[in-house]
Structure 1
Amino acid sequence: MEDARVSRLRRWIPVVVLALALYVIVRAANTSQGDSSAPAPTDTPTPTPTADATTRSAPPSAPPSVASSAAPSVSTKTSPRYDPADYASQVRSRARRAGVDARLLMAILYNEAYKPHAPSLERAWQKVKPDAAFGIANMHRATFDEVKKGRDFVHRSWEELPDDRDLAIEAEAWYLHDLAAALPATWSAPYTEDELLALGYNTGAGNMLAFARGVTPGSQAQSYLDKLRANWAKAARAVGEG
Structure 2
Amino acid sequence: MAEGRTQWRWWVVPLLVLIVWGMARNGDNDAKGEHASPSPSSSDRSPDRPSSDAEPSDKPSRTPEDAPSAGPGKGSYEPGRYARQVRTHAREAGISPRLLMAILYNEAYKPHDPELERSWQRFKPDAAFGIANMHRAAFDETKRGKDFASRSWEELPDDRDLALKAAAWHLHDLAARLGPDSGGGSGGLSRDELLALGYNAGAGNMLAFARGVKPGSMAQSYLDKLRGNWAKAGRAVGD
- TM-score, normalised on structure 2? 0.80
Q: 1:80 and 1:71, CA in 2 relative to 1: closer, same or farther beyond 3 A?
A: closer
- What is the aligned partner in structure 2 of residue 108 from structure 1? 103
Greater Cα offset, 171-180 or 187-196: 187-196
- What is the aligned partner in structure 2 of residue 179 from structure 1? 174
**Native 8 Å contact 1:134 1:161 kept in 2:** yes
- What is the aligned partner in structure 1 of residue 52 from structure 2? 45
Match of 1:34 among 31, 34, 38: 38
**Native 8 Å contact 2:83 2:236 kept in 1:** yes
Secondary structure of the structure 2 residue equivalent to 1:114: coil
**Shift in Å at residue 77 of structure 1?**
3.4
Whose radius of gyration is greater, 1 or 2?
1
- What is the aligned partner in structure 2 of residue 165 from structure 1? 160
**Native 8 Å contact 1:72 1:89 kept in 2:** no
**Native 8 Å contact 1:133 1:141 kept in 2:** yes
Deviation string 1:30-51 (CA, Å, 9 cap, x unpaired) is x7533243214387316xxxxx
**In the aligned structure 2, how far is the partner of 1:70 from the partner of 1:93?**
13
Deviation string 1:5-36 (CA, Å, 9 cap, x unpaired) is 4664675565243233256458978x753324
**In the aligned structure 2, how far is the partner of 1:18 from the partner of 1:233?**
36
**In the aligned structure 1, how far is the partner of 2:204 from the partner of 2:116?**
31
Deviation string 1:66-100 (CA, Å, 9 cap, x unpaired) is xxx89865457313410001111110111011011
Amino acid at match of 1:165: R
Structure (1/2) with the larger helix percentage: 2
- What is the aligned partner in structure 1 of residue 58 from structure 2? none
1:149 aligns with 2:119: no
Q: 1:109 and 1:130, CA in 2 relative to 1: closer, same or farther beyond 3 A?
A: same
Higher relative contact order (CA 8 A, sep 6+): 1
**In the aligned structure 2, how far is the partner of 1:16 from the partner of 1:39?**
24
Q: 1:17 and 1:146, CA in 2 relative to 1: closer, same or farther beyond 3 A?
A: same
Gaps of at least 5 residues in structure 1 are 47-68
User: How many residues are paired up?
Assistant: 217
- What is the aligned partner in structure 1 of residue 117 from structure 2? 122
Secondary structure of the structure 2 residue equivalent to 1:201: helix
Secondary structure of the structure 2 residue equivalent to 1:137: coil
- What is the aligned partner in structure 1 of residue 199 from structure 2? 201
**Shift in Å at residue 112 of structure 1?**
0.2
**Shift in Å at residue 121 of structure 1?**
1.0
**Native 8 Å contact 1:18 1:124 kept in 2:** no
Amino acid at match of 2:230: W
**In the aligned structure 1, how far is the partner of 2:23 from the partner of 2:188?**
34
Match of 2:225 among 221, 224, 227: 227
**Native 8 Å contact 1:36 1:133 kept in 2:** yes
**Native 8 Å contact 1:45 1:215 kept in 2:** yes
Greater Cα offset, 104-113 or 33-42: 33-42
**Native 8 Å contact 2:36 2:109 kept in 1:** no
Amino acid at match of 1:232: W
Amino acid at match of 1:115: K
Greater Cα offset, 36-45 or 20-29: 20-29
